[in-house]
Structure formats: structure tokens, C-alpha cells
Amino acid sequence: MIRVALIPGDGIGPEVVDEARRVLEAVATAGLAELVFGEFPHGADHYLSTGETLSDETFSVLRDDYDAILLGAVGDPRVPAGRHARDILLGLRFRLDLFINFRPAKLRAPRLSPLRNAGDTAIDFVIFRENTEGMYTGAGGRLRQGTPQEVAVSESIATRFGVERIVRAAFDYAKVSGRGRVTLGDKANAVPHVYGLWRDVFTEVAAEYPGIESEMRYVDALAMELVRSPGRFEVIVTENLLGDILSDLSAELTGGMGVAPSANVNPAGGALYEPVHGSAPDLVGKGVANPMAAILSAALLLRDGGATDAAKRVEEAVDAALAEHIGTPDIGGTATTTEVGEWIAAQIA
């Protein structure tokens, strides 16, 4: 049994999580997995009405009573600087120590790629984004705020432990999934301390995997190469902030934010699945949000939960929808969010 905590969150989060849940329920009804759900109201409305972003009590429940979290999105224009979003999303990543942010970029239908006329349509790589360090730890501060002498510092943190475990996870994944190359994305030419450590550790770990090719790229050139020849990439490992940026670029190469899933995991226990996209305030309530990213995130949840056949069925159902041109307007379709979810769920039933 997989105990799933749903955090629909803000904006289009609830719209896409409804559809992911519909698909998971179809999976359960078809006898492909045993699932139980709990729903959590955390997000901007809950914060603005109760003052709770994510309390210690809620955190303990999520940690102890559930196997996986499925989150829609957090972020709301009424909450300046995304305070609740940081507590909820980054809070869960940090407190559950979900150090792997696994972000697959797979082109499921060639017509979805903006590069479709350039010939490189066999895009299928995975980003291993370090998820607990870098610029995201909050280290730093602001002094003399609001004065002409104001100083702001955000420190980038890299530990040998943190870098080594994500680099190793990327190589291990390459090995078990039969992928032949791991690429490091960094900026060691301009930021030598943090990315120097990344290069040292990457080089050491790579030497332990003689069957897997390794290469190091400065992230600016890597961004260029991802557009020029995305098909050559297999596994990309990178630091937190760089991975955030590269994952939106990679999403766009494979059909856009509406189809890009992700998993935040610690192999020793704890997992949070979410679309790469945010709360898309411009789309709320219009029925146009693409639920495929959330549905594919649910497939990752099933896969990690041991329900591999169920995960495969969900991915196949999404592929079938794409083949039949069932989709929301972002991918050239005319269906609503709900229609897409219902179609995919029916395919599984």
C-alpha cells in the first residue's frame, strides 16, 4: 500500500492535482496499486486565514503517516516573496532531506518540441538537481535594509557530503538505467570555490564508474548545447539553482511546463512529487492548465512506490493521449484540464 498525502496548494495546483488523483484512483480501481489518500489544505489561502505555513505538527504527520507527497504548486501574488511557498516546498525538501530532485526531460511526441524542424527529436535525458544546498539554504542576510548603505548577501553552500551524494546518485542511475554518459553543469570558471569542489568530487566519483562516460560543462555553454543538440544528453547532474534554471529550459524543449514532471527523493525514505511548473496565476479557473505534468509526477510516485506496472500504464495512457491529440491549448489541443484527466483515467480503466 502507498499512503499518498495530497497538497494541491495554490493557483492551478488544485486543478492539476484533481486530475492526478483521478488517474491514481483509476489505477487503484484497476487493481494496479493499493493507494490511500490524505488531503492537506496548505497553501496561500490556508496561510492567510490561519497564519500556518507548515507547522511542526503537520510536518510530523507528513513524515510519519505517509509514504509520498503529491504537491500541485505553491505561490500566490498575495503572499509577497513567497514566504509560505518557501516554508512548504523548500521546507519539505530540506526537512525530509530530499536531496535528489529528479527531473526527466523526455520528448513524448516530436510535434511538441520547438526544435522539431531542426531534426533532433530523440530527446530523453534526466536532470539530477541537488536539492538541499547551493543558494537555497537561506545562508546570508540583509543589513541596513532600506538605506542607501544596504548590503545583501546570499551564500552558496556546497559540502563534500552533499555534492558527493547527488553525483553518486546520478552515476548510479546512469548505470542501472543503461545510460552511457553523465554531464556535470557548473560555473567553475567564475565561481571557483563552490564549483571547484563540484569538479573535484565529480572527477573522483566518475573514476569509480569506468563504463560511463563523464564530461564537465560550464552551464552557459551547456544551456546553448541543450538547445543545439539536446538528443546527445543522457544524465545531467548539477547544483540547486542551476538545476532549477536548466529544468525549465529542458521542459520547454520537450513540450513545455505542462508536461514536465519531477520527483524529490531521498532513497533512504521520503519523497515529494510535483510538476516542474508553478501555480500559473495567469491560467487559474480557465480550465486550460495541462494536468499531464502532475499525472506524470504521479507515475513517478507509483514507480518509486514499487507499482512499476501501474506507472507504466499511466505513462502509456499519457502517450496515447498525445498520439490522439487529446490535450490542453498549451500543447495545441482543445480539451480542458478535466477532459484530459478523464481521458487518461478512462484509458487506464
- Other beta carbons within 10 Å of 220: 12
The rounded distance, in Å, linking the Cα atoms of 35 and 37 is 7
Show the site string, 76-115: x = touches ligand NAD by CB under 6 A, - = not.
Answer: ------x--x---x--------------------------
The rounded distance, in Å, linking the Cα atoms of 293 and 321 is 13
244 is catalytic: yes
286 is catalytic: no
Question: Least Å distance between CB 103 and ligand IPM?
Answer: 8
List phi, psi (to 5°) of 273.
-110, 140
- Other beta carbons within 10 Å of 194: 19
Amino acid in position 42: H
Stretch that binds Mn ion, among 16-24, 70-78, 188-196, 242-250 (CB under 5 A): 242-250
Cα-to-chain-centroid distance, residue 245: 12
Does residue 67 belong to the site contacting Mn ion (CB under 5 A)? no
Within residues 247-266, the interface with ligand NAD by CB under 6 A covers 257-258
- Report the half-sphere exposure of 244 (CA within 13 A, side-chain side): 10
Indicate the residue among 69 and 188 with the shorter CB distance to ligand NAD.
69
Catalytic annotation, pick one of 67, 87, 244, 304: 244
Element (H, E) at 222: helix 219-228
The three cell numbers of residue 50 are 490561519
Question: Least Å distance between CB 16 and ligand NAD?
Answer: 6
312 is catalytic: no
Catalytic annotation, pick one of 172, 248, 286, 312: 248
257 binds, among Mn ion, ligand NAD, ligand IPM, none (CB under 5 to 8 A by kind): ligand NAD
220 is catalytic: yes
Yes or no: say if 240 and 257 are a contact pair by the CB < 8 Å rule: no
Question: Least Å distance between CB 349 and ligand IPM?
Answer: 31
Yes or no: say if 167 and 100 are a contact pair by the CB < 8 Å rule: no
244, 304, 315, 330: which one binds Mn ion (CB under 5 A): 244
Question: Least Å distance between CB 277 and ligand NAD?
Answer: 3
Indicate the residue among 95 and 312 with the shorter CB distance to ligand IPM.
95
Question: Least Å distance between CB 9 and ligand IPM?
Answer: 10
Angstrom distances, CA of residue 76 to CA of 14, 133, 181, 280? 13, 24, 39, 9
Beta-bridge mates of residue 70: 6, 273
Instruction: Give the residue numbers annotated as catalytic, written as ranges.
Output: 136, 187, 220, 244, 248
Interacting residue ranges for ligand NAD, rule: CB under 6 A = 12, 16, 73-75, 82, 85, 89, 257-258, 274, 277-283, 289-290, 293, 330
